[in-house]
Structure 1
Amino acid sequence: MTEELTIIPGQRIRHAEFGEGVVVAAATNGFVRAFFGGGERQVPVVSITPILGRSEQVVRNVGSGERRNRRAWLAYQAHALPLIESAAALTSAKIDLLPHQVVLTHRIATASPRRYLIADEVGLGKTIESALILRELASRGELNRALMVVPAGLVNNWHRELNEVFNLDFEVFGSQGDVTDRKSNAFVKHDRLIASVDTLKRKPRVKRLMDAPLWDLVIFDEAQHLTASKSGGKLKKTDNYRLAESLRSHCRDLILLSATPHQGDHYRFYMLMQLLDPTLFTSPDDMIENRHRLNSIIFRRTKADACRPDGSTLFARRWVHTESFVMSEVEREFYNDLHVYLMDGFALAKQQGNKGRALGFVMTIFQKIAASSFAAVHRTLRRRLIALTVQEGLMHDSKLDIDARDAAFAEARQLIQREFHLTEDRLGQIEAERVLADLKRRIVKKMDDDDLAMLSSEYSSETETTASEDSAIIAVELALPEERQRIRDLLTKFPPETETKVKNLINALGTLWQQDSSERVVIFATYLGSVEMLGEEIERAYPGQGVVVLKGGDHGTKLSAEKRFKQPNGPRVMICTAAGREGINLQHARVLFNFDLPWNPMDLEQRIGRIHRYGQKHTAQVYNLVLSDTIEGKIFLLLDDKLKEIAKALGKVDEHGEVAEDLRSQILGQLSERLSYESLYAQAVSDPELKRTRLELEQALSNASEARNVVYELFQDLDGFSLNDYQPFSDTSEGMDEIVRFVRTAAEDEGKAFRPEANGVFVVTTPDNGDPLRFTTDRDSSIEAENIDLLGLDHPNVVQYMQRFRSLPDEQIGIRVRSDDGRTGVLSIWHVTTQGERSETRNQMLSLAVNGEGQRIPSWEKQVDRLFQFSPASSNSEPQIDLLTELLEPMIHRELIHRGFLAENRGYDARLVGWVEVV
């Protein structure tokens, strides 16, 4: 292209000898001055070629044809689909998508700035809401870098949820994941990370975070732990708070999650709000006085707010009953001796100071296991005896006492053969040697005190709870004096009869099945020893009913167990370890037994939530089985009684005398922040009358109740959820039809066959008869069918197609079509990114249509899709560059201002993604 008119100052050009350059002065006498890499030069106009801008490239290469029209439409749709209004409701994640979640996601995703506290009550899906926000922002092209900061015990849960359910491709940073910062700054290299708050708050890590590029979005889970308080006029910020403070200025969007964000201390809550908007309040008093302003940064939905899409109640009723029993004489004798063993262990750990931390953690784990069942602690004691025997052999080996070493290892082999039911033949001996070698390796390796602390903690995750049994076995470096003999003595006193709690559970199951033999029952027991024993006892008592056990494993393993339990002729009983506490839905069962009780009552609420959830059609019946003469039983019953007293005083007791669910969750949530259950139960070992324990529990409950009242007062002006807010998003059929059409067109463009089947299922097949893709647009049926995908904007195939057609070469997206009513002109489609007051970005589609005289054609702008369906036109007219540069491009700025998309003195980027010339 050598026309002088196109060679103007600022024009990028290419020269055969000097490469790329920029014109610095207008062409005269056939020559032009330009700046190249080697400096400024004067060159002949005929020796240079203009480098066209992207929009000009599109306009100069307009073409026609059926396939070209189709691909140009696909390119336009690839940009437009992620920005449709109902995007949040069009996720392909197989989840129950609830109205309050859809509305919240849309409001946050389309807000500017995005700095919010999501304070929904427990059980309303804050994890799902976060994932939906991440998903929608990613689809809109407004999320590249995201950081999830969560409690250590929840890292794996978040990782599984975001990746397996929502296909978000997050990586785990720190000791629990593959991403580290040993050799380089991981926060620069990785764009989507999940990390524990404890891992990130160390000063060297905070510095690396600050050295990395800004994050588009940072989310803090359990944000009530970001605390800053005032004492004696002095402000004290925790390391957690300082981390959030640093990240606040190093991210575009910030979201805090907490069901209990206010701990009854207005100043702490005021400081939490400062992280979101330091200009909103001048002081805690100002916050109380103008609490209505909290609406601008807080979303809080209660279970009373939540409902189904049709407006019906979301949660069925629930009935929780505690059945208490006393131990038999032989059980009490065993329990008392075990109690002494634990007391001695805690005393030695305390005496040893820092050196005794590991033993203290082991005793805590033992105490938890003992509270589950005698069978569970019996199993752990047996295996700890083996490990102690191996440890003794290793000690003799280090002293070169060969005879003593061999004797210890020989005894360990015998114990292993008995424990694992190994035969005396060669194969059994080989297996015993393998177990022995594995124990040696693990004992020598030792376990880090911090890891033990996490495993014994009330915040340990489902996999860590199961691992804690193992840790209590192999953490033998510090043992009690004569511990092997003490364990042998304990084992001889183990009650041979069926446990009291088990007898009562077996009788209760019989009563249920007499009334309805098809009744499904869920039983929670935290530890493997309890689970294995219960499975055997139930199979023995009711051989025809069937038992499925959920011990753990990945999400797929859980779903497989859940699926077997749901089959019409499947097992009638599912026994779950802590692995079943999250991530599975068992609402087709209505009866749940808590065979043991977790120390943290909020974990009990999570268990109940497996059956008492969206989709439950009956009253959820929950039975807590408690040995009232154990320490754990006494504390649980004491807590239950105190809760009932508070509920009666507040008039929050139902017709069965049960504490109202919302009050229970509010007070227990506050209590969890005030009380270390781990310390409470450990101290109770040396306080059998529970005098000190009772006082501590009463004080904590009083504080929790007070905090609940303070929160109620402060939050009373917050907007609740209204189903009217959901109406604009309730009908997703139009958006889903657009996605189906997009997928069908894209699949056919690459030679695949697309056909509908019965029951709303679609199938995409390849010419080489590869694995077909089967999907449906019906959320409910997709959740039931494992082999059928749910179609949505975030389905991997849809994402792949959108990426492909968004990157279609510029030369292929301009088309020429024949007018159907005699009007001629151009429709231009722009993907516009605008900047807000705080440099936040927003993406939107903008359609501008004009005729040859430059007059707007509003009807074309509203019917973009229709113009792509016009017949291809074969006429070959001159490129309409003037129309682009002199009319349409200047029009963008005016239109953005007119529509309120562009703030004063703010920039924008407009990318031409569609050009339709109508002739």
Structure 2
Amino acid sequence: MTNNLLPALGAWVVLRDTMDAERNPGVVHKIMISNHGASATVQWLRTKQVDVVSLDRLACGFARGHDVLHDPSPGYGPPLGTGVVRAIRDIGGQRQLLVEFASRGERLWMPWQRFRFIKGPAFRFKRGDVGGPDAAERFRLRTLAHALVFWNENTGALSRFDIDPLPHQIHLVHHILASGNLNWLVADDVGLGKTIEAGLIVAALRQRSLASRILIVVPAGLTRQWQEDLKLKFGLDDFLIYGTDFSVGDTAHWKLYDRVIASMDQLKAVAHLGSIMEAEPWDLVIFDEAHRLTRKQKGQSYEKSDRFRLAEHLRHRTRNILMLTATPHQGRQDQFVALLHLLRPELASDMEGIDFDQSLLSRMVFRNRKADVTDAEGNFIFKGQTSRMIQVDANPELTELEDQLAAYLEEGYRAARASGSSTGRAIGFVMTVYRKLAASSIYTLMQALIRRLARLEASSSAKVIEQLEIQDDRFQGEFEEAQETPSAAFFDGEADRLRLLIRGCEVALLDDVKMSAFLSCILAPILSANPNEKLLIFTEYRGTQDYIRHKLEENFGPHKVSVINGGMDVEERIESIRHFEGNGQFLVSTEAGGEGINLQRRCHMLVNFDLPWNPMRLAQRIGRLYRYGQQNHVSAFNLESLASADEGVVAKMYERLEQVARDLATVEEMTRETLISDIVGELAGLLDVEEILEEARGATVKRTSERIDEAIERARQASEVQRDLFHHAVSYQADELKDTLQMGIEHLHAFVGGMIYALGGEVKPSQRFPGMAWRLVLPASVRENLPGLDAETLVAFDRTFAPEGVRFERLDMDHRLVKYLLARSLDYDFEGLTAPIALGEHAGALGLSILHWQDERGRRMRSELTALHQVGGADIQLNPRELSEFLLEPQENAPSGAVQSVSGDFVQAAETRIDRLLAERSTGALLPEGYGWISLARCEQAPESASQLASTAEAKEPIDADQ
């Protein structure tokens, strides 16, 4: 031989000096090394003669198409498994084989000496080899192992997660991963688990080694939540928060941080933006709440927000951007198209005609709606949501106060119009804030007026709410409330007006009709029905929050009340939620709790003490409760004071919005639950309520109503456009995966139980935890390879199974026992490559093949396990439904008569169908790469009674009926 590599036992060789070498290959059976050199015992396949031959006389006997098994030299790691020789080359005096390892998704050039020839599935099937007496069961277990591995890689549904992914989430992940393109806008309704979907995608990409460097950009208040969700739900504990867990002094150090979570408002700052742009390129960038990336069209130019510029910069530092938002289209098509430009800049020219080619959205937008999603059993998940407006009549004291406030505001607006632009804007801002505070609560208005009077009188004794750095528009109300007013009077006699107003507030507070309605008309009936009912209460302002908290503590005790506001850090908010879900009963939140805080596990009642002037916030507020995991119908109560200064404006706006929502619900055949939390939110995003109110200064209610009507009509039209747009987006369809080989936890049960029996062990249902756990009697061969496991080990699959003080193993695809069983079942020597089985009602054939697609640079982008089934001479069907059921039950070999009933042309016909399938599923991003056979079976017509096949299975069936 011309090198020092010794051929593996089972390698095919030929004699170098024989003319008919190719016609008489031999198999190496033994290697001998002596002082005189190295030799091998070779059996020649044609003559069956056995010779001892010097290694120097032997050369590679493998040919293209041969099935081979990798046999590494000692110290070179585990074997790579079975493969097919695709090409042969001579380089540097050595012959090498290009071997395609189908199950691993790799093609490698390797020395021929490291392989032995094997009889692959197609070779055996064509020659009528159907395996040994337990071939059908080993075929089932081998097929199950491959199916479980590929389903988990394509959906992430069976990994070590603290969640049970829902069908719509699995479908979304499968669709995006299978598309060969990771640039998608995920636009699911609020509460459908976009974070879970993103986590599944990240976990699957890392499992495939397709994404090492990942940057997640989120609103400031959600960084810690993302980190905890990835750690607790997905076991991804290596994501660090930029600016909290680490900082970068030298930009070269970015290479040390591959998994990063960052605040979008921190990164957009000049210093941080410069730093992040010096980082190594990212494999994937995820933007949460992507609707905050805004770009508005102004004639022929664009007005870009700093957040949008951040995304533009990062677009140049990554191949893949994933965007998450429940409200991607808020009535401004130019802003929606701007997001699509970020996703797929190469399609920007096509997007100019998006009105005419809306099917483009199916390539980049995925949208699930609450009304469509189901659990694993096909039951609709959401129990519904209802919103009610509670209108509060005024008493004489409140009416008088409103008259006084209207007079004060009119004086202020008059002064604003008479002043210069900057001074006028400042006065107008203060007047608008006072109008909004008055609609919230008398108490909050009074505190603002006291601060204003103190400012005029240069008093330092008045309490001033701390200033907020407004990096998040959720805190707009708190920001406005906290701003100091100019020290100069807006108009002559302002201080006297303020004293009169403050006195009016004090009188009105003695009989606050809005607070009384809250306590008597909302809380009293709710608590009468259930004294322990938990309530989430929203307000825009800290002053109103303090007022509500005081009243609740006065009536129910301090230990019952928690708060969330913009002045609290993440840990303080978490503690408030923990208290509320534990011994607390009332959680009073400003808009700081309007996003990212999920309370559906313990609460289904919400009160909007004041209505946000941007009604889009209603969708976010209700989304805190109306989301996956909510087991009750969600009820939302909106308080509205009829005597407020803006009664005619605000009341009419909401009246029109609800009517439009009802109209569109009829058109879209939606349920009542979507009216406020979804449609109204989308519609209201178009309305600039403050602009309407500014236009209404001094105008009649009639004129303002006309202005609102015009805005509502535009909103209606925009919503219809949006409905048409999203009609072309991809969404969950319960039957879209029906033709795929779907796996569930029950298949993992069946695999583990079957493998334990196949290896000589035993499965016993737990007597202490019936229907929840098994006791596995592990054979010695398993325990030798997995030290630390007891001879009899308690195991469970259910994530909720957590008995206190009991040692057990929770099995999933990441558990070492499951990984060991998978490796054993996929080993060539486990057999099960061919078998005679009973599947369906007629004789036929079944083949399992792995198909691969790659991109134009040769990177593998998609792999699928596909079952091909043919009955008689009929067309080949993909992934027959009965296969999923077949895999759940232990199997016996079908009678040998099945062997003669199958056409010998099945393999050729199946490979033709595979080639067509590779072509059908190819796109600009996916190009056909290849395929490989896993196993092939000859199917016999099923007996009249399926119980005949399961006679022995009943005796050793490991799965309880309860499971």
Smaller-chain TM-score range? 0.5 to 0.7
Matching residue of 1:247: 314
The whole-number CA distance in structure 2 between the counterparts of 1:686 and 1:788 is 71
How far the C-alpha of 1:303 sits from its partner, in A, is 2.5
Alignment of 1:675-694 (within 5 A): 675=688, 683=694
Q: Is the contact between residue 149 and residue 219 of structure 1 (CA under 8 Å) also seen in structure 2?
A: yes
Matching residue of 2:166: 98
Task: Note if 1:258 corresponds to 2:325.
Answer: yes
The whole-number CA distance in structure 1 between the counterparts of 2:319 and 2:831 is 45
Name whichever of 292-301 and 665-674 sits farther off: 665-674
Q: Is the contact between residue 159 and residue 171 of structure 1 (CA under 8 Å) also seen in structure 2?
A: yes
The whole-number CA distance in structure 1 between the counterparts of 2:709 and 2:827 is 75
Q: Is the contact between residue 852 and residue 928 of structure 2 (CA under 8 Å) also seen in structure 1?
A: no
Matching residue of 2:772: 760
Going from structure 1 to structure 2, the CA distance change for 1:905 and 1:143 (only over 3 Å counts) comes to closer
Counterpart among 710, 713, 716 of residue 721 in structure 2: 710
Q: Is the contact between residue 562 and residue 584 of structure 1 (CA under 8 Å) also seen in structure 2?
A: no
Task: Note if 1:733 corresponds to 2:745.
Answer: yes
Q: Normalising to structure 2: TM-score of the pair?
A: 0.58
How far the C-alpha of 1:579 sits from its partner, in A, is 5.5
* Aligned partner of residue 84 in structure 1, secondary structure: helix
Matching residue of 1:141: 209
Q: Is the contact between residue 218 and residue 287 of structure 2 (CA under 8 Å) also seen in structure 1?
A: yes
Going from structure 1 to structure 2, the CA distance change for 1:518 and 1:139 (only over 3 Å counts) comes to farther
Percent of paired sites with the same residue: 26
How many pairs were matched up? 722
Spell out, residue by residue over 1:325-357, the C-alpha distance to the aligned partner (whole angstroms, 9 max, x if none). 133333455566667489859978997977999
The whole-number CA distance in structure 1 between the counterparts of 2:703 and 2:597 is 37
Alignment of 1:304-323 (within 5 A): 304-323=371-390
Spell out, residue by residue over 1:685-711, the C-alpha distance to the aligned partner (whole angstroms, 9 max, x if none). 955856786566444433322221122
The whole-number CA distance in structure 1 between the counterparts of 2:821 and 2:775 is 21
Query: What is the one-letter code of the residue matched to 2:745?
Result: S
* Aligned partner of residue 90 in structure 1, secondary structure: coil
Alignment of 1:767-786 (within 5 A): 777-779=797-799, 781=800
Counterpart among 678, 685, 710 of residue 665 in structure 1: 678
Matching residue of 2:732: 721
Task: Note if 1:836 corresponds to 2:855.
Answer: yes
How far the C-alpha of 1:85 sits from its partner, in A, is 4.9
Query: What is the one-letter code of the residue matched to 2:176?
Result: I
Unaligned runs of 5+ in 2: 8-36, 38-72, 82-112, 115-144, 757-765, 777-786, 834-849, 866-882, 884-913, 931-963
How far the C-alpha of 1:585 sits from its partner, in A, is 2.9
The whole-number CA distance in structure 2 between the counterparts of 1:621 and 1:805 is 49
Alignment of 1:159-308 (within 5 A): 159=227, 161-162=229-230, 165-169=233-237, 177=244, 179-180=246-247, 183-184=250-251, 187-201=254-268, 208-224=275-291, 226=293, 240-262=307-329, 269-270=336-337, 272-278=339-345, 282-284=349-351, 286-308=353-375
Q: Is the contact between residue 662 and residue 675 of structure 2 (CA under 8 Å) also seen in structure 1?
A: no
Task: Note if 1:620 corresponds to 2:634.
Answer: yes
Q: Is the contact between residue 358 and residue 452 of structure 1 (CA under 8 Å) also seen in structure 2?
A: no
Spell out, residue by residue over 1:27-69, the C-alpha distance to the aligned partner (whole angstroms, 9 max, x if none). xxx9xxxxxxxxxxxxxxxxxxx99765799999xxxxxxxxx
Q: Is the contact between residue 154 and residue 204 of structure 2 (CA under 8 Å) also seen in structure 1?
A: no
The root-mean-square deviation of aligned C-alpha atoms, in Å, is: 6.6
Matching residue of 1:401: none
Counterpart among 516, 523, 526 of residue 529 in structure 2: 516
Matching residue of 1:120: 188
Q: Is the contact between residue 321 and residue 622 of structure 1 (CA under 8 Å) also seen in structure 2?
A: yes
Q: Is the contact between residue 266 and residue 284 of structure 1 (CA under 8 Å) also seen in structure 2?
A: no
The whole-number CA distance in structure 2 between the counterparts of 1:803 and 1:819 is 18
Higher helix proportion, which one?
A: 1
Unaligned runs of 5+ in 1: 8-29, 31-49, 61-76, 393-407, 417-438, 566-570, 745-753, 809-813, 822-830, 847-861, 863-895, 909-919
Alignment of 1:500-899 (within 5 A): 500-509=513-522, 512=525, 516-518=529-531, 520-526=533-539, 527=541, 529-531=543-545, 533-534=547-548, 537-538=551-552, 547-551=560-564, 554=571, 556-564=574-582, 575-578=588-591, 580-581=593-594, 582-586=596-600, 589-614=603-628, 616=630, 619-631=633-645, 634-647=648-661, 650=664, 652=666, 661-662=674-675, 665-672=678-685, 675=688, 683=694, 697-725=708-736, 732-734=744-746, 737=749, 760=772, 777-779=797-799, 781=800, 836-837=855-856, 842=861
Going from structure 1 to structure 2, the CA distance change for 1:245 and 1:791 (only over 3 Å counts) comes to farther
Alignment of 1:456-471 (within 5 A): 457-458=473-474, 468=478
The whole-number CA distance in structure 1 between the counterparts of 2:221 and 2:706 is 29
Q: Is the contact between residue 325 and residue 627 of structure 1 (CA under 8 Å) also seen in structure 2?
A: yes
Going from structure 1 to structure 2, the CA distance change for 1:607 and 1:774 (only over 3 Å counts) comes to farther
The whole-number CA distance in structure 2 between the counterparts of 1:377 and 1:96 is 48
* Aligned partner of residue 326 in structure 2, secondary structure: coil
Going from structure 1 to structure 2, the CA distance change for 1:234 and 1:523 (only over 3 Å counts) comes to closer
* Aligned partner of residue 510 in structure 2, secondary structure: coil
* Aligned partner of residue 220 in structure 1, secondary structure: strand
Going from structure 1 to structure 2, the CA distance change for 1:203 and 1:783 (only over 3 Å counts) comes to farther
Going from structure 1 to structure 2, the CA distance change for 1:180 and 1:104 (only over 3 Å counts) comes to same
How far the C-alpha of 1:712 sits from its partner, in A, is 2.2
Going from structure 1 to structure 2, the CA distance change for 1:621 and 1:844 (only over 3 Å counts) comes to closer
Spell out, residue by residue over 1:552-597, the C-alpha distance to the aligned partner (whole angstroms, 9 max, x if none). 66364255234326xxxxx665555546544333466554332222
Q: Is the contact between residue 546 and residue 573 of structure 1 (CA under 8 Å) also seen in structure 2?
A: no
Going from structure 1 to structure 2, the CA distance change for 1:528 and 1:782 (only over 3 Å counts) comes to farther
Counterpart among 184, 200, 204 of residue 132 in structure 1: 200
Query: What is the one-letter code of the residue matched to 1:836?
Result: D
Going from structure 1 to structure 2, the CA distance change for 1:787 and 1:193 (only over 3 Å counts) comes to farther
Matching residue of 1:434: none
Going from structure 1 to structure 2, the CA distance change for 1:476 and 1:276 (only over 3 Å counts) comes to closer
How far the C-alpha of 1:190 sits from its partner, in A, is 2.7
Q: Is the contact between residue 215 and residue 284 of structure 2 (CA under 8 Å) also seen in structure 1?
A: yes
The whole-number CA distance in structure 2 between the counterparts of 1:818 and 1:511 is 69
How far the C-alpha of 1:248 sits from its partner, in A, is 3.2
Going from structure 1 to structure 2, the CA distance change for 1:94 and 1:342 (only over 3 Å counts) comes to farther
How far the C-alpha of 1:626 sits from its partner, in A, is 0.9
The whole-number CA distance in structure 1 between the counterparts of 2:444 and 2:722 is 41
Spell out, residue by residue over 1:644-701, the C-alpha distance to the aligned partner (whole angstroms, 9 max, x if none). 443465573999x9977258623532532563x56666x4895585678656644443
Query: What is the one-letter code of the residue matched to 2:684?
Result: L
Matching residue of 2:120: none
The whole-number CA distance in structure 1 between the counterparts of 2:831 and 2:162 is 44
The whole-number CA distance in structure 2 between the counterparts of 1:661 and 1:818 is 54
* Aligned partner of residue 685 in structure 2, secondary structure: helix
Going from structure 1 to structure 2, the CA distance change for 1:631 and 1:800 (only over 3 Å counts) comes to farther
Matching residue of 1:886: none
How far the C-alpha of 1:524 sits from its partner, in A, is 0.8
The whole-number CA distance in structure 1 between the counterparts of 2:251 and 2:431 is 40
* Aligned partner of residue 549 in structure 1, secondary structure: strand
Query: What is the one-letter code of the residue matched to 1:760?
Result: M
